[in-house]
Structure 1
Amino acid sequence: MVFSTTFSIILADSSISQGRHRRLQKVIKHDIIRYRGISHKAKLRLSTTHSRKLTYEEDIPIEEREAPLKSTIQGSVKLPMYAAAEYEMGEYVVDIDVGNPPTKLRLVVDTGSDLTWVKCKKENRRNFSNNEALNVDKSLTYKPISCESALCKEEFTSLSSLDVCPNVNAPCLYNYSYGDNGLWTYGMFGKDITTLPTTTGKPVKLPNLLIGCSESFTDKDTMKHADGVLGLGINPYAFSLHAVVQFGGSFSYCLVDHLSPTNVTNYLIFGDYKEKAPTQEFMRYTALLVSDSAPYYWLNVKGVSLNHRMLSIDPIVWDRDADGGTILDSGTAATYWAEPTYRAIMDVLVPALEKDHPKIEQYRGDGKLDFEYCFNSTATPFNQKQVPRLEIHFMDGARFKPLVKSYIVDDGPDVSCIGFLEAPTGLNVIGNIMQQNYLWEFDLHQHTIGFVSSTCD
């Protein structure tokens, strides 16, 4: 009987390995390039410019922080947001109206980017064939930014403005990179208006939004199905800060399952989170570590536990001043752990799985370029309750407990994998799959991140 069961599993594994379409293979390849870029950018900026660090003594209790900013409108801005798995993308996207008359653009929601940029059409310059790209010559509200302006020479250096200015009428150019040998886009800066839907049903206009009018970019696969990137990083000229100043100091999103079809949506909200998604618990808050240089959402992590047992991990892993630290990123799908954390987690999860769900040996991922442990999830019925529950513990006492499906992930028909990757450097990145079915609130005024489990219906 044991022989029969083992043989059936081997046959099942063999059939799965032949011609299997892996849902996440292209996503992982993209993620690795992106991770290296973000890590390089974070290390470079943190080492060369001042960063503001919230020490434990400065960790002010939530109730003693500044009062929230008041919104300038009634209700909240509410942008439908959906997973892009149908397009073989690992990100989430929103549709947004830019320009006058408005052009509807599909933009990748990216908390790791501080520049909002779109595929752009401009006379006398290279054009894109995509009909949904923004034609700035037809927008009555588009304003180019001169290369002679102080904005170009000083303010936009953090956004990779170029020191190229043949004449006073020439536009301010950029070559925005997501890191060393990573993803980049080239174009010119301008400002335009965006029209946003609200919870009251009355649209609101957000003027003078900085937009990168991109002529070229490297991420061709992703951008076949998207028109650009909505930059939600921490920068005065990012969409995030431009919007929260008007709409109440915070934004939030609730990520539906990353494999959901495009007709399953939740929302990217600017304003009161109570209008966002159904929850059955109270929102938990943790400190947002603010950096003047690296525009990422840094978290103050204390450690990781599995089934309520803290793992033995050197605290230096969580110290961004020692090339470690942890960021929350909507533009990366998988979650990356620095080697000590990755190994400690795998040393618990693998033994818990391998008895009933042996590894598919044909897939030889090492955890760096591919998932290390994948198994046939149907040969033996998979019970999520047998998987140790992971929790991320923050210094201020908050704990984030992702769903099991957020780290034991579906990677194809009948195949599941431990969905973690070993980080090439010391930076830990909590990707969007780990964030799914949680409502996340980013308060850029009070420097907090809130989270609570939700169906995101």
Structure 2
Amino acid sequence: MVLRVLLLLLGLQAAIVSPTVDAKGHGHSYRVVAANKLQPKPVCSALRVTPPSNRTWLPLYHRNGPCAAAPVVHSARTTILGRDQDRADAIQRALSNNSTVSTELGIALGLGTLEYVVAVGLGTPPVRQTVLIDTGSDLSWVQCRPCHLPRCHRQRDALFDPSKSSTYSPLPCGSPACARLSARNGCSRSNRCRYIVNYGDGSNTTGTYSSDTLTVNPSDVVPNFRFGCSHAETGFPDADRTDGLLGLGGDAQSLVTQAGKSAFSYCLPATASDTGFFTLGVPNISSSRFAVTPLYRSAQSATFYFVILQAITVAGRRLDVPRSVFSAGAVMDSGTIITRLPPPAYRALRAAFRAEVIKMYPPAPAAGILDTCFNLTGVPNIRVPRVALVFDRGVAVDLHPSGIIQYGCLAFASNRGNRSAGIIGNVQQRTLEVLYDVAGGAVGFRRGAC
């Protein structure tokens, strides 16, 4: 794989990571967090940290939390983790040489694990659309009139009506943008370009490939934004109330490419009742608090963004895992929930974490893909061993407790194969501002951003 070659060429030195030091200069290896701080509340909490004033941003919410102004949905843990495994498997298939996941419009991983939404304006005048964000998708789409039940799902906002936008245009079949799609998409009887996306979880959307003005925020307006105007779909959850999807992948159809900004960032909140944010554009990294590691791309997919792990630390101590274990790289993914590690790295993490926690809390049965669990019933304040991911160039990212413990379990899982790429899931990204500087070839991490 291309990433293995890049890693060997870099010949980077192993990072030496010291235990975190507090304000008094004492090293410590645990964080104590109130158990109720790791659980969502029935009311929405405002953004706790104001984003930098020199950048425009959008509020970002959990799709099933109270901030999204939609019915709160409590999916079964087994359902959530099962969908997450399906997505992780789809990513691995997409990166294999004999991938069957690449479809008419590139990678189509599935929508069941997407958890975070933003509200954008589409058309002229702009109409509010609440859309899921996904770094593993390129094509953006919304439901458009006509879109009748049950072929479409109920949504929180009004359906987008192309006839009411003065800047809407269906793309003709002979247009260059349509020509870049597979011939399998075909044309309508009125010579309109038709798109089809079949997702890996069995859901699909189809309609007219179109263009219109996209208003991300007052400072970020994208004219002639190409998107799917969906008129039919199957396989979407009955409780889903989102209006569509905003593709943030690295291929030609994504918002990032079309906007010409070449960078974006987001901060995913600690719980489903907290507020995060999304930005489009590059901050001044040299004067910011971002810790920066190289961003890599794969020859197998233009969609995904890769980073390379060098090491993992638990309670301030580096795991005894050779760097070669991480040589396939790791996909930074907003849509996968639980981080996946190569089996040798996961086994070392599991053993080290269990050795620390078993001193304090009794073991509990496994929860699906999460096999290192503890009985935290009645514990008001949880002592969580610090876990840090150490990336290329020795960049150590200390994870928030909500990115370490889920359902009373260690929030990591193992890949199925030793040589498979890892996946940095959204749980581990919580409270970090994660910057994707695509043009600059960097991924940045800023702690405590939301």
TM-score of the aligned structures, taking structure 2 as reference length: 0.71
Show the counterpart of 1:359. 363
Change in CA separation of 1:44 and 1:115 when aligned onto 2, cut-off 3 Å: farther
Unpaired segments ≥5 residues, structure 2: 1-73, 103-111
Q: CA RMSD in A?
A: 3.3
Maintained 8 Å contact 1:326/1:430: yes
Q: Which residue of 1 aligns with 2:172?
A: 146
Distance in 1, matches of 2:319 and 2:306, equals 21
After TM superposition, give the deviation of residue 288 of structure 1 in Å. Answer: 0.4
One-letter identity of the residue aligned with 1:176: V
Mapped partners of 1:45, 1:152: distance in 2: 26
- 1:383 shift after superposition: 3.5
Tell me which residue corresponds to 1:333.
337
Q: How does 1:106-255 map to 2 (within 5 A)?
A: 106-122=130-146, 130=155, 132-153=158-179, 155-157=180-182, 162-165=184-187, 169-179=190-200, 183-198=203-218, 204-218=220-234, 220-221=236-237, 224-243=240-259, 245=260, 247=261, 249-255=262-268
1:331-410 counterparts in 2 under 5 A? 331-360=335-364, 363-365=365-367, 369-380=368-379, 382-384=381-383, 387-409=384-406
The Cα offsets for residues 59-82 of structure 1, whole Å up to 9 and x where unpaired, read as: xxxxxxxxxxxxxxxxxxxxxxxx
Out of 60, 72, 80, the residue aligned to residue 27 of structure 1 is 80
Could you say which structure has the higher helix fraction? Answer: 1
Distance 1:147 1:107, change over 3 A: same
Counterpart residue number, 2:117: 93
Q: Provide, for residues 67-112 of structure 1, a one-character-per-residue CA deviation record: whole Å limited to 9, x for no partner.
A: xxxxxxxxxxxxxxxxxxxxx9761110111112322111111111
Unaligned runs of 5+ in 1: 1-20, 50-87
Q: Separation in 2 of the partners of 1:377 and 1:113?
A: 37
Amino acid paired to 2:426: N
Q: Which moved more, 1:103-112 or 1:29-38?
A: 29-38
Are 1:267 and 2:292 counterparts?
A: no
Residue 34 of structure 1 aligns to a residue in which SS?
A: helix
Q: Counterpart of 2:23?
A: none
Amino acid at match of 2:280: F
Deviations 1:174-216 (A, max 9, x none): 332444x555433331111112324xxxx55321111112234
The structural deviation recorded for 1:222 is: 8.0
Secondary structure in 2 matching 1:435: coil
Letter in 2 for 1:31: D
Deviation at 1:330, TM superposition (A): 1.0
Contact 1:33 1:183 survives alignment (8 Å): no
Query: What is the rounded CA distance, in whole Å, between the counterparts of 2:283 and 2:135 in structure 1?
Result: 18
The SS at the match of 1:454 is coil
Mark the CA change 1:122 to 1:232 in structure 2 (over 3 Å): closer, same or farther: same
Tell me, yes or no, if the aligned pair for 2:122 and 2:129 is still in contact at 8 Å: yes
The change in CA–CA distance for 1:101 and 1:223 in structure 2 (over 3 A counts) is farther
- Structure 1 pair 31–205 and aligned structure 2 pair: CA distance change class (3 A): same
Match of residue 41 from structure 1: 94
Give yes or no for contact 1:313–1:340 (8 Å, CA) kept in 2: yes
In 2, Cα distance between the equivalents of 1:127 and 1:389? 45
Structure 2 residue identity aligned to 1:26: T
Q: Secondary structure in 1 aligned to 2:270?
A: coil
- Match for residue 440 of structure 1? 434
Report what 1:302 is aligned to.
Answer: 310
State the TM-score, normalizing by the size of structure 1. Answer: 0.70
| Cα deviations by residue, 1:332-390 (Å, 9 ceiling, x for unpaired) | 22222232222221111122222321122xx443xxx4321332324455542xx4322
Using the TM superposition, give the Cα deviation of residue 113 of structure 1 relative to its aligned residue in structure 2, in angstroms: 0.9
Q: Is the 8 A contact 2:152 2:233 kept in 1?
A: no
Query: Relative to 1, partners in 2 of residues 1:120 and 1:395: Cα closer, same or farther, differing over 3 Å?
Result: same
Q: Which amino acid in structure 2 is aligned with residue 296 of structure 1?
A: F
Q: Is the 8 A contact 1:258 1:433 kept in 2?
A: no
2:181 alignment partner, SS class: helix
- Indicate if the aligned counterparts of 1:144 and 1:190 stay in contact, CA closer than 8 A: yes
